[in-house]
Amino acid sequence: MAFRKDILLDDNNDPICKDGDFVTGISDQQNSVRLTSLNKGELKESPTVGVGLIHFLKKVNITPREIEREVKLQHQNDGYKVSNFEFTEEGELNFDIENNY
């Protein structure tokens, strides 16, 4: 399985720099987190990209299946396969990704 490499970001989504240069590394997990948290329309060049998880969680009549469908669809469109999708008893969302590139 190939991994994607990109500029790594810190917890504030700022690029990590070391010795005056950007730090690069495997970015699959970072990409997944950003894809899940992005709202549709936030990326000007790709307005349909993003799960917008926070908006799903604010809806009253949303089912875990609907969230799972959107997470899988958005990741599939970005070249990832999602498996082991679950909500824990504490309400955390967990899933595994596999890069299909």
pLDDT tens for residues 36-54? 999 999 999 999 999 998 8
Average pLDDT over residues 65-79: 94
Total domains in the fold of the chain = 1
**Lowest-pLDDT choice from 10-14, 15-19, 28-32, 59-63:** 59-63
- The number of beta carbons lying within 10 Å of the beta carbon of residue 75 is 22
Residue 1 has pLDDT above 70, yes or no: no
Residue 22 has pLDDT above 90, yes or no: yes
Whole-angstrom distance, CA of residue 40 vs CA of residue 22: 28
Could you list the residue range(s) of the whole structural domain that residue 95 is in? 5-99
Contact 85, 71 (CB under 8 A): yes
Residue 2 has pLDDT above 80, yes or no: no
Whole-angstrom distance, CA of residue 12 vs CA of residue 86: 26
- Please give the model's pTM, rounded to 2 decimal places: 0.84
Question: What are 71's two structure tokens?
Answer: 């997470």
Model confidence band, residue 78 (pLDDT cutoffs 50, 70, 90): very high
